[in-house]
Amino acid sequence: MFEDVSELLKKIIHFSKLCHRLGYVGGSSGNVSFRSGESMWISNTGTMLGELSEDDFSCVEVISGTVLRGRTPSKEREIHRLAYARRLDCHAVLHLHPVDCIAAGILLGPKTELPFYVPSHFIKLGTVHQTGFYKAGSLQLAQECSVLLQNENAALLYRHGTVTLGNSIEEAFMRSEYLLEACRLHLKFQGAHAMSEEELADYKQAPTDVFISKDEDGMRSCS
Known catalytic membership, residue 76: yes
Q: How many other CB atoms are there within 10 angstroms of residue 181's CB atom?
A: 17
CA distance 41 to 93: 10
Environment class of residue 2 by beta-carbon count within 10 Å: exposed (0-12), middle (13-18) or buried (19+)?
exposed
Which uninterrupted H or E stretch holds 44?
none
Q: Rounded to whole angstroms, how far apart are CA atoms 20 and 54?
A: 17
Phi, psi of 91, rounded to the nearest 5 degrees: -125, 0
Catalytic residue among 76, 78, 144, 171: 76
Alpha-helical (H) ranges within the chain are: 6-21, 77-86, 99-108, 119-125, 139-149, 169-189, 197-204
First to last CA, the chain: 26
Distance CA 177, CA 120 (A): 12
Residue type, 159: R
Active site residues: 76
